[in-house]
């Protein structure tokens, strides 16, 4: 019983790490650009395929492949910002939703055509290595997901808190017009934000690709969970997203372990709707009064 | 102005006449099937249009309401041998009631929050279809759904077994819905909804009950989708959870946007054109073209 519990907690932490990495980019893009990016989980899917390319086809070590995938997808994120987000930034909300949904459909279909709809295996040098103590066993890959996530959160925190561009990002989040008056180049900030968001999503894809399978549909299966995370944490709230990701990851794996794996998604969305009803600003958000 | 109105009436009359004779123009059976699906999709897009186009709240739960309607009518007909003509209104009512229950708490939410809440709700409904094995038979779906019961008019007996008969049945339903829809949109309710879409704070100040009208639009759209679900079940004779996904909700959204949301003709044009281009099941790739045009 205790073993089972600990095992599920470990699984939950791995799941939570994935959600964290994807949700961080999503929540930052909302906070800073005001765009709800429905295509964000496709960056996670593409990141996994780029990771497969570097690690399986090019035979590079896993960590090198991970970093390369992040760099490639950062470039992709910037392209997405230039081509789609910049024209949409001042458009009505509904156009943004439809526009980013369109990118999502486009990328999934493009991936189906390019990579074929069949799931791909992604073996790495860590996926066969097991660690076990006190009856709990986990692959090194799962441990790695958690550790790399912590490292990336650390980097992101340093970047946002202690660099000039990080300061500019925080300024944009608080008040875009005032930030512009202070001479901050919004286009530059949004480019950097998208690059970071895409790189984090790619890291998530490359990290969990070896645990599950890599397929064009993997993003669609995740996006609604990630939205749940972002809303639970409060949209645009970075620490909130991290906490919410781990809470949801644990809730999901504990439900699957002790209640029913069929209904684990139902539990996630029930939590989501309950939070939306009781505290729409999120568990960690401040509620705002709309000024006319 | 008068000339314009009469030209418009002419176009409407021609379109209705064309729809009436369409099955007799000698197209292949496959195209008639596409035509029936287009009619069903017009109804779905009109349902979404009520809440998204007129009240300005984008919902991604339309496929779920469609599914509730299809499952409720199918189960009533299969398990209780209820007549289709009783099951269909009950199905619409169920979808509407579910929409009220989910709408009362969530319609306070704005913009992306409401979209995500409805998407979550849609996913919950699909999971229930998939996992409540004892009632919905899970992923296998419900088979052997009977066709709508025949109606006897004294001198003729109308049956709804074949494709052509279903086409006419759904066309008549669509025309009735359009008449109601037109009157609703041009009534006090329609004006209130448009006012809410344009500026809900100003509307509130004018003394219009924003929450009431939003819930009315949401429940109305859901009931329409539920009714469509019943006719879908009666036509296809098979329902499974695969039909009622978030992807389907997005398809409905695309159809509504292509034609132009907040109009009556928009969903009709959108549904017909996206079916002309997409055919039956290869639904996504051609829609990208339409979508990029819409943006």
Q: What is the pTM of this model?
A: 0.81
Virtual CA dihedral for B43, B45, B50, B53, nearest 10 degrees?
-160
Under a CB-based contact definition with an 8 Å cutoff, are residues B254 and B291 in contact? yes
pLDDT, tens only, B84-115: 899 999 999 999 999 999 888 888 777 778 88
Q: Give percent helix, percent strand, percent coil of chain B, each to the nearest 5.
A: 75, 0, 20
Distance from CA of B219 to the nearest CA of A (A): 18
Q: Test B250 with A227 for CB contact under 8 angstroms.
A: no
pLDDT, tens only, B178-200: 999 999 989 998 899 989 888 88
Tokens of B2: 């008068």
Residues of B in contact with A276 (CB under 8 A): 105-106, 109, 113, 116-117
Position A273 scores a pLDDT of: 78
Which of A142, A113, A118 minimizes the C-alpha distance to A214?
A118
pLDDT, tens only, B218-276: 999 999 999 999 999 988 888 988 888 888 888 888 888 888 888 888 888 888 887 77
Position A285 scores a pLDDT of: 64
Q: Would you call B104 an interface residue with chain A, using a CB distance cutoff of 8 Å?
A: no
Tokens of A193: 């934000």
Query: What are the residues whose beta carbons fall under 8 Å from the beta carbon of A271, sequence distance 6 or more?
Result: A228, A232, A248, A251
Distance from CA of B197 to the nearest CA of A (A): 12
What ipTM goes with this model? 0.73
Position B285 scores a pLDDT of: 43
Position B289 scores a pLDDT of: 46
Distance from CA of B83 to the nearest CA of A (A): 33
Main-chain dihedrals φ then ψ at residue A104, nearest 5 degrees: -60, -50
Assess whether pLDDT exceeds 80 at residue B129. yes
Residue of chain A with shortest Cα separation from B121: A269
pLDDT per residue rounded down to tens, chain A (292 residues): 777 888 888 888 888 998 999 999 898 888 888 888 888 989 999 999 999 999 888 888 888 999 999 999 999 999 998 988 888 877 777 778 878 888 888 888 888 888 888 888 888 777 777 777 777 777 788 888 889 999 999 999 899 889 998 888 888 888 888 888 888 888 889 899 999 999 999 999 999 888 888 888 888 778 888 888 888 888 778 888 899 999 989 988 888 888 777 777 788 888 877 887 777 777 776 655 555 5
Q: Would you call B211 an interface residue with chain A, using a CB distance cutoff of 8 Å?
A: no
Q: d(Cα B167, Cα B231) in Å, to the nearest integer?
A: 10
Q: Test A280 with B109 for CB contact under 8 angstroms.
A: yes
Residues of B in contact with A101 (CB under 8 A): 250, 253
Assess whether pLDDT exceeds 50 at residue B26. yes
**HEC string of chain A?**
CHHHHHHHHHHHHHHHHHHHHHHHHHHHHHHHHCCCCCCHHHHHHHHHHHHHHHHHHCCCCHHHHHHHHHHHHHHHHHHHHHHHHHHHCCCCHHHHHHHHHHHHHHHHHHHHHHHCCCCECCCCCCCCCEEEECCEEEEHHHHHHHHHHHHHHHHHHHHHHHCHHHHHHHHHHHCHHHHHHCCCCHHHHHHHHHHHHHHHHHHHHHHHCCCCCECCCHHHHHHHHHHHHHHHHCCCCHHHHHHHHHHHHHHHHHHHHHCCHHHHHHHHHHHHHHHHHHCCCCCCCCCCCCCC
């Amino acid at each position: 019983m205790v073993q089972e519990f600990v095992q599920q907690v470990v699984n939950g932490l791995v799941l939570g790490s994935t959600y964290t990495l994807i949700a961080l980019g999503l929540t930052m893009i909302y906070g800073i650009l005001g765009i709800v990016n429905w295509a964000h989980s496709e960056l996670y899917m593409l990141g996994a395929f780029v990771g497969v390319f570097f690690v399986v086809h090019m035979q590079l070590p896993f960590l090198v492949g991970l970093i390369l995938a992040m760099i490639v997808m950062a470039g992709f994120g910037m392209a997405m910002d230039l081509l789609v987000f910049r024209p949409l930034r001042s458009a009505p909300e509904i156009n943004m939703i439809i526009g980013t949904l369109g990118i999502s459909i486009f990328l999934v279909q493009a991936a189906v055509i390019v990579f074929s709809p069949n799931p791909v295996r992604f073996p790495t040098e860590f996926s066969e290595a097991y660690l076990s103590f006190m009856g709990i066993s986990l692959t090194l890959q799962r441990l790695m997901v958690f550790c790399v996530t912590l490292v990336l959160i650390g980097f992101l925190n340093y970047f946002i808190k202690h660099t000039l561009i990080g300061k500019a990002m925080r300024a944009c989040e608080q008040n875009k017009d005032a930030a512009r008056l202070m001479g901050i180049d919004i286009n530059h900030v949004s480019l950097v934000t998208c690059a970071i968001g895409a790189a984090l999503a790619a890291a998530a894809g490359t990290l969990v690709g070896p645990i599950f399978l890599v397929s064009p549909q993997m993003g669609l299966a995740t996006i609604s969970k990630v939205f749940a995370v972002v809303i639970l944490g409060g949209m645009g709230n970075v620490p909130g997203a991290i906490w919410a990701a781990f809470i949801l990851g644990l809730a999901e794996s504990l439900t699957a372990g002790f209640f029913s794996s069929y209904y684990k998604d139902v539990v996630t969305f029930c939590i989501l709707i309950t939070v939306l009803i009781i505290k729409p600003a999120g568990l960690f958000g401040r509620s705002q009064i709309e000024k006319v | 102005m008068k000339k314009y109105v009469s030209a418009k009436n002419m176009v409407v009359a021609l379109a209705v006449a064309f729809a009436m004779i369409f099955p007799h123009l000698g197209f292949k059976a496959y195209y008639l099937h596409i035509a029936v699906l287009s009619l069903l999709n017009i109804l779905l897009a009109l349902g979404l249009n009520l809440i998204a186009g007129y009240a300005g709240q984008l919902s991604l739960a339309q496929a779920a309401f469609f599914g509730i309607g299809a499952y409720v009518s199918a189960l009533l007909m299969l398990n209780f041998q209820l007549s289709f003509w009783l099951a269909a209104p009950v199905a619409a009512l169920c979808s509407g009631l579910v929409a009220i229950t989910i709408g009362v708490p969530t319609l306070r939410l704005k913009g992306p929050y409401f979209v995500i809440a409805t998407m979550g709700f849609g996913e919950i409904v699909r999971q229930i279809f998939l996992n409540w094995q004892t009632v919905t038979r899970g992923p296998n779906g419900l088979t052997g759904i009977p066709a709508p019961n025949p109606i006897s008019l004294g001198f003729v007996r109308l049956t709804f077994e074949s494709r052509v008969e279903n086409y006419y049945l759904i066309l008549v339903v669509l025309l009735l819905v359009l008449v109601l829809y037109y009157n609703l949109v041009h009534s006090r309710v329609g004006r209130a909804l448009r006012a809410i879409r344009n500026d809900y704070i100003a509307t509130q100040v004018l003394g219009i009950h924003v929450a009431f009208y939003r819930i009315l639009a949401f429940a109305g759209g859901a009931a329409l989708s539920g009714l469509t679900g019943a006719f879908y079940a009666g036509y296809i004779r098979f329902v499974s959870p695969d039909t009622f996904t978030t992807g389907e909700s997005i398809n409905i959204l695309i159809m509504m946007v292509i034609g132009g949301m907040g109009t009556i003709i928009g969903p009709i044009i959108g549904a017909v054109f996206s079916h002309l281009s997409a055919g039956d099941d290869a639904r996504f790739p051609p829609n990208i073209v339409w979508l990029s045009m819409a943006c």
